[in-house]
Amino acid sequence: MKRIFKPGLLIPVAIIVVLAIWPLLSGNSASSREAMFTLIMSMALASSLNIILGYTGYVSFGHIVFFGIGGYAGFWAITELGWHILPAALLGGFMAALIAWLLGLAVLRLRGAYFALATIGILEAMKALVINLDFLGGPVGLEMHFSEYKRYGGPMESLWMVYWSMVFLAILVTVVSYYIKTSKFGLGLMAIREDEDAAEVMGVITPRAKTWAYVLSAVFPGIIGVLFFFKNGNIEPGDAFRLHFSIEWIVMIMLGGAGTVLGPVLGGGIYQWLRKTLLTSPIFKDYQLVVAGVMLLVIVLFVPTGIIGWLRARSAKLRRVFE
Amino acid sequence: MGNVLFTSAIDGLLIGVIYGLAAMGLTLIFGVMDVINLAHGPLIALGMFGVYLLFTFLGLNPFLAVAIVAGLGLILGVIIYFIAVNRVIDAPPLSSLLSTFSVNMIIIGVGTAMLSTSSYNVDYSLGTMNLGFFKAPGARIAASLVALLTTALLYLFLYRTRPGKYIRAVANNRISAELMGIPSTRILALAFGIGVMLATVAGGLIATILPINILAGGSYELKSFVIVVLGGLGNPLGALLGGLILGLIEGIVPVFMKTTWVPVIEYVLFVLILLVRPQGILGAKE
Amino acid sequence: MSRKWILPLILVLALTLVLAACSGQKATEAPKAEQPAAATEAPKEEAPAAKEKTVVIGFTASQTGKYNVSSTRQTTGLQMWMDDVNKAGGVKLSDGTVIKFKAVSYDDESNKDRVQELYTKLATDDKADFLISPYSSGLTAAAAVIAEQYGIPMITTGAASDATYQQGYTVVYQAYTPASRYLTGAIDLLMNLDPNAKKIAFVYENSKFATGVNEAAKAYAEKNGFDVVLFEGYDPDTKDFNAIINKIEAAEPDAILGGGHFQDGSTFARQLYEKGAKVKFISLLVAPPEPTFAELGDAAVGVTGPSQWEPAAKYSPEAAKAAGLEWFGPTGEEFTKAYKAAHDGEDPSYHVAGGYAAGLILQKAIETADSVDKEAVLKALDATDMMIFFGHIKFDTSAENHGLQIGHDMILIQWQEKGGQLVKEVVWPEAGATAEPIYPIR
């Protein structure tokens, strides 16, 4: 129980909590709620991906496939079966986990670039498949009637409900991420990252460990997908399986520091805040993509361990505080 | 039915050669330095616009323009290598994936701001070739021939010239190549340059037969991934074969089922080959 | 210089960039606005001397990404309307208040990630009084949720999909003819031209919009006794249509209908021609009405396409009188002339006209309501039944289809060769035709 009070966990959770209640403190709550939603969603997504990418060292490039699978499963349950959002979200997470488990058995045998390519292939295959499935609306996707929100007390209440669920999820992901990092299981994952063959020799049952890491990193994007598309009111293959968004998660992790608990939280927040600032700024509006590209390049070339990694390397004191 | 099948197969092979050429650049770079160049798509798009601009504003023959674009592509590739790749050449794969992806963002960003995402056409025609049983635009046949010629030249270069042999030596084992006195950094830069050159040439050839826009490279990049895996990562000749296979799939599958199933088949095949035979059909790099 | 120095330097640089971006943000948030004031400082109820009130119109535009071209056109049209109204002294209400308009917009990057965030920002931070939709049905569907939530009237343009108006929204109004009526005109024309035509092939882009259009058109064709010999979607990224063309040739249809957006439609038309395919009648979505379609040269000849509006469209105050409708706003000639003057003689496409029309619809509703009160404007929108240069505007007010456009009709254009020049002619409906349709085309 003592582990709860470690700064390694407290700092990221505190960051999320402070951001989460910001809409209540600032005057214009709806607008800041939407801004914070994007930020906190990115933090949760980046933290989930970090479990397989940062700890285990497997570059899951098309990780958004789980966001899409979960989103479709949950959205379908809501619109076609009339489910409540809560079981629907759980269904989304379950489907994502199930498919990650099945896929993991096969593709986690691949290493390095081969694994990265395979995840892109899986993403594109899944997207093409969904386009051909009529019960999921094919290329048109599914739409939700506006009156659905009435079930939760009206649209405004629904949005707040989705928002708080997202905050809860983000904290949950962080806690899970922290526990993995400080557990024996996590140690096994990091051994795999450093040298998979050596890890095997040292007694890590690598296939099992990798599959679990993959499943854990897929559950949360699945649930988040349901929340996101419920909030949007519709779902389309192009939005649910957008490779570019997936790559952005990796950028967030790199920015904050891969393989750390705090890194993805910080990276997700900073990345989305920067993008928004650039997007709405008149100077960089046309060149926001270029500016983002240059910054990414600078980080990869000169600060490859991300903000947290850099800080940890500078000072032994910080090393004790940041996980 | 038999006729449709035949026509579709030839159509598929014609475009497949160009797919193969586009993928060759990606596979060469991977084979030599284990870098997956995520700027591949935008570089193809740059090749397209190079030819478009030379043709539209200078009135050059598009195939001559392709040659100029090839030279510019080589220089651009070397520059990109020294800016974005050299520093992360020995880092884990994630670093080079992201550094080349940032080049992707920069090219797309500048391109969108300057050209918008509108579609452009190289208004060039060599008439329609009619063999009675088979009809195809002349430009398409010419483009495929140029793609084949480029492949042949690449092979001559890799196997008959000293820099080409150096590249193969570095691909095989960089450390021993260095011990033998081969300037590995310069050779890596050259290999990257040639990879980018191939991408821009493929883009240029595509521009002569299909409409282009700044985002168009993205779909060829995805196709290139599939092709590269089909033919074996790092094997340029394999890329040609992979391109032909992909072209055939795209040509023939729609005869039997809905066109929308083509990508499903392509990508499932892609993942299956990675799992069952990751070295590809012709085997990975030597 | 050691590595130690490089890192802080970069961080400082990055920070400066960000700060520059932030500080620049406020001053020029609405660069094209008449008043230099930032959104939140817009003169509202105060300033009784001038009795002027600035109404904020919010929307997102796709400045980057795949919708960039059409979206930019739409924004240009809206901006033209705004400049026209403001220059003419704004809208005068009976109590003496003068209403001026001001636009606040952000880039949605052609994707849905931020649409809701930006529309919420428009609704709350920027205090938008009225909203205009983004371009495309998909983005509009996401924005509609926010508009409905805050009860802010939203005029949609560039968003034709029917489904959005069947989700129970009460504040969303469509300027375009809905997708279900896009291609029915082409089928009517075909029946008129050739009673023997029986076989139709549908080849369409696998997108929300095109699929909706083609499914509705297929049902209409079958109802009218046609035999649908091919009904096939293709990936939006498709560059090479040869496989599909081979399939079409094998099916030997009398007419080819379909398409999707500009890129794929123009590629499809070009390859059909290059391949020497025998085509009697072809009608494609979105691409043919675009002025740049003429760049295809011979491949464009004979291609027809449904258009929301054309410079040659015959909507005039006289036509309005004949139909017993009220006329509002500038005439088509005035609009076309003004656009051409500002854009090097380029013809306005229907996306521009749609943007302008969205503004006109809003302006008319404000004038009718004699107020900018949202409830009153909504009531006025419900009652709208008028003709503008864009065509007849009337909305469905039933609970199931609220806001769906039921007045406006599509026209069908065809590219024809006149004296070595490609000209876009209106060929359907017959009443508005400017030329005889060519049939069969080759």
d(C-alpha C128, C-alpha C133), whole Å:
13
> By C-alpha distance, which of C158, C112, C111, C116 is closest to C133?
C158
Inform me whether the C-beta atom of residue B71 falls under 8 Å from chain A C-beta atoms.
no
Assess contact for B92 and B62: CB atoms under 8 A: no
Question: Is residue A5 predicted with pLDDT exceeding 90?
Answer: no
pLDDT bracket for residue C9 (50, 70, 90)? low
Per-residue pLDDT, C14: 55
| In chain C, domain spans | 32-177+324-394, 181-307+411-432
Question: Is residue C10 predicted with pLDDT exceeding 70?
Answer: no
| HEC sequence for A15-40 | HHHHHHHHHHHCCCHHHHHHHHHHHH
For residues C229-254, average pLDDT = 88
Inform me whether the C-beta atom of residue C346 falls under 8 Å from chain B C-beta atoms.
no
pLDDT bracket for residue B244 (50, 70, 90)? very high
Question: Is residue A199 predicted with pLDDT exceeding 80?
Answer: yes
> Residues B182-193: pLDDT tens digits?
888 999 999 999
Domain A2-321, what fold? ABC transporter involved in vitamin B12 uptake, BtuC (1.10.3470)
Answer yes or no: do C275 and B125 touch at CB < 8 A.
no
Inform me whether the C-beta atom of residue B106 falls under 8 Å from chain A C-beta atoms.
yes
Containing C392, the helix (H) or strand (E) segment is strand C391-394
> By C-alpha distance, which of B108, B109, B89 is closest to B99?
B89
Answer yes or no: do C138 and A28 touch at CB < 8 A.
no
For residues A111-119, average pLDDT = 88
Of B11, B119, B215, the CB nearest to C246: B11
Statement: C32-177+324-394 belongs to CATH 3.50.50.60: no
The mean pLDDT value of chain C amounts to 85
Through-space distance between the first and last CA atoms of chain B, rounded to whole angstroms: 42
Question: Is residue B162 predicted with pLDDT exceeding 70?
Answer: yes
Per-residue pLDDT, B284: 57
pLDDT bracket for residue A6 (50, 70, 90)? confident
Question: Is residue C43 predicted with pLDDT exceeding 80?
Answer: no
d(C-alpha C108, C-alpha C101), whole Å:
22
For residues C332-351, average pLDDT = 90
Answer yes or no: do B254 and C263 touch at CB < 8 A.
no
Assess contact for C304 and C412: CB atoms under 8 A: yes
Residues whose CB is less than 8 angstroms from the CB of residue C135 and which lie 6 or more positions away in sequence, other chains included: C61, C62, C67, C70, C71, C74, C157, C158, C159, C351
The number of residues in chain B equals 286
For residues B221-229, average pLDDT = 91
Answer yes or no: do C68 and B118 touch at CB < 8 A.
yes
pLDDT bracket for residue C20 (50, 70, 90)? very low
Q: Choose the weakest-confidence range: A228-237, C45-54, C395-404.
A: C45-54
d(C-alpha C164, C-alpha C157), whole Å:
12
Residue C64: closest C-alpha in chain B: B112
Percent of chain B with pLDDT over 70: 97
Residue B36: closest C-alpha in chain A: A113
Percent of chain B with pLDDT over 90: 53
Give chain C's radius of gyration (CA, Å): 23
Residues of chain C neighbouring B117 (CB-CB closer than 8 A): 64-69
Two tokens, residue B169 = 């030596």
Assess contact for A139 and A131: CB atoms under 8 A: yes
Question: Is residue C359 predicted with pLDDT exceeding 90?
Answer: yes
Assess contact for C288 and C232: CB atoms under 8 A: no
Two tokens, residue A80 = 């076609």
For residues C164-181, average pLDDT = 92
Residue B257: closest C-alpha in chain C: C232
Inform me whether the C-beta atom of residue C117 falls under 8 Å from chain B C-beta atoms.
no
d(C-alpha A226, C-alpha A83), whole Å:
12
3-state secondary structure of C182: coil
Inform me whether the C-beta atom of residue C206 falls under 8 Å from chain A C-beta atoms.
yes
Full set of structural domains in chain B with CATH: 2-121+135-276 (1.10.3470)
3-state secondary structure of B259: coil
Please say whether the dihedral angle defined by the alpha carbons of residues B130, B136, B139 and B140, taken in this order, is positive or negative: negative
Per-residue pLDDT, B114: 87
Residues of chain C neighbouring B136 (CB-CB closer than 8 A): 275
> Residues A126-143: pLDDT tens digits?
999 999 998 998 888 898
B118: distance to nearest CA of chain C, Å?
6
Question: Is residue C46 predicted with pLDDT exceeding 50?
Answer: no
Per-residue pLDDT, A28: 66
3-state secondary structure of C329: coil
The gap from C-alpha A191 to its chain's centroid, in whole angstroms, comes to: 23
A interface test, pick of B27, B86, B105 with most A CB neighbours within 10 Å: B105
Per-residue pLDDT, A285: 67
d(C-alpha C341, C-alpha B103), whole Å:
39
Question: C181-307+411-432 belongs to which CATH class?
Answer: alpha beta
Per-residue pLDDT, B1: 57
d(C-alpha C207, C-alpha C186), whole Å:
20
Inform me whether the C-beta atom of residue C211 falls under 8 Å from chain A C-beta atoms.
yes
Per-residue pLDDT, C21: 46
Per-residue pLDDT, A292: 81
Answer yes or no: do B271 and A131 touch at CB < 8 A.
no
Size of interface A-B (CB pairs under 8 A): 126
Per-residue pLDDT, C23: 39
User: How many Cβ atoms from other residues are within 10 Å of residue C41's Cβ?
Assistant: 10
Question: Is residue C123 predicted with pLDDT exceeding 50?
Answer: yes
Answer yes or no: do B116 and C295 touch at CB < 8 A.
no
B interface test, pick of A63, A249, A300, A302 with most B CB neighbours within 10 Å: A300
Residue B135: closest C-alpha in chain C: C275
Q: Name the more confident of C47 and C395.
A: C395
C interface test, pick of B121, B124, B257 with most C CB neighbours within 10 Å: B121
Question: Is residue A12 predicted with pLDDT exceeding 70?
Answer: yes
| HEC sequence for chain A | CHHHHCHHHHHHHHHHHHHHHHHHHCCCHHHHHHHHHHHHHHHHHHHHHHHHHHHCCCCCCCCHHHHHHHHHHHHHHHHHHCCCHHHHHHHHHHHHHHHHHHHHHHHCCCCHHHHHHHHHHHHHHHHHHHHCCHHHCHHHCEECCHHHHHHHCCHHHHHHHHHHHHHHHHHHHHHHHHHHHHCHHHHHHHHHHHCHHHHHHCCCCHHHHHHHHHHHHHHHHHHHHHHHHHHHCEECHHHHCCHHHHHHHHHHHHHHCCCCCHHHHHHHHHHHHHHHHHHCCCCCCCCHHHHHHHHHHHHHHHCCCHHHHHHHHHCHHHHHHCC
| Single-letter residue type at A276 | K
For residues B136-140, average pLDDT = 82
A90: distance to nearest CA of chain C, Å?
22
Residues whose CB is less than 8 angstroms from the CB of residue A82 and which lie 6 or more positions away in sequence, other chains included: none
pLDDT bracket for residue C38 (50, 70, 90)? very low
Two tokens, residue C333 = 């000639």
User: How many Cβ atoms from other residues are within 10 Å of residue C236's Cβ?
Assistant: 18
Give the CA dihedral B236, B238, B239, B245, nearest 10 degrees.
Answer: 160
> What number is the ipTM of this complex?
0.87
| Single-letter residue type at A17 | V
Question: Is residue B118 predicted with pLDDT exceeding 80?
Answer: no
Inform me whether the C-beta atom of residue C113 falls under 8 Å from chain A C-beta atoms.
yes
For residues C242-248, average pLDDT = 88
> Residues C361-370: pLDDT tens digits?
999 999 999 9
Per-residue pLDDT, C386: 93
pLDDT bracket for residue C274 (50, 70, 90)? confident
Containing C253, the helix (H) or strand (E) segment is none
Answer yes or no: do C113 and A38 touch at CB < 8 A.
yes
Q: Partners for A (CB, 8 Å, 3+ pairs)?
A: B, C
Per-residue pLDDT, C2: 46
What phi and psi values does residue B32 have, to the nearest 5 degrees? -80, -40
Per-residue pLDDT, C6: 55
Containing C211, the helix (H) or strand (E) segment is helix C208-223
Residues of chain C neighbouring A28 (CB-CB closer than 8 A): 124-125
Provide the chain C residues 230-259 that lie in CB contact (below 8 A) with chain B: 232-235, 237-240, 242-244, 246-247, 249-250
d(C-alpha B201, C-alpha B64), whole Å:
11
C interface test, pick of B56, B118, B140 with most C CB neighbours within 10 Å: B118
Question: Is residue C49 predicted with pLDDT exceeding 60?
Answer: no
For residue C36, cis peptide bond before it (omega within 30 degrees of 0): no
| Single-letter residue type at C273 | Y
3-state secondary structure of B168: helix
Per-residue pLDDT, C11: 52
Per-residue pLDDT, C110: 84
Q: Partners for C (CB, 8 Å, 3+ pairs)?
A: A, B
Assess contact for C111 and A242: CB atoms under 8 A: yes
C interface test, pick of A132, A274, A281, A301 with most C CB neighbours within 10 Å: A281
Of B109, B137, B219, the CB nearest to C239: B219
Per-residue pLDDT, C26: 37
pLDDT bracket for residue C439 (50, 70, 90)? confident
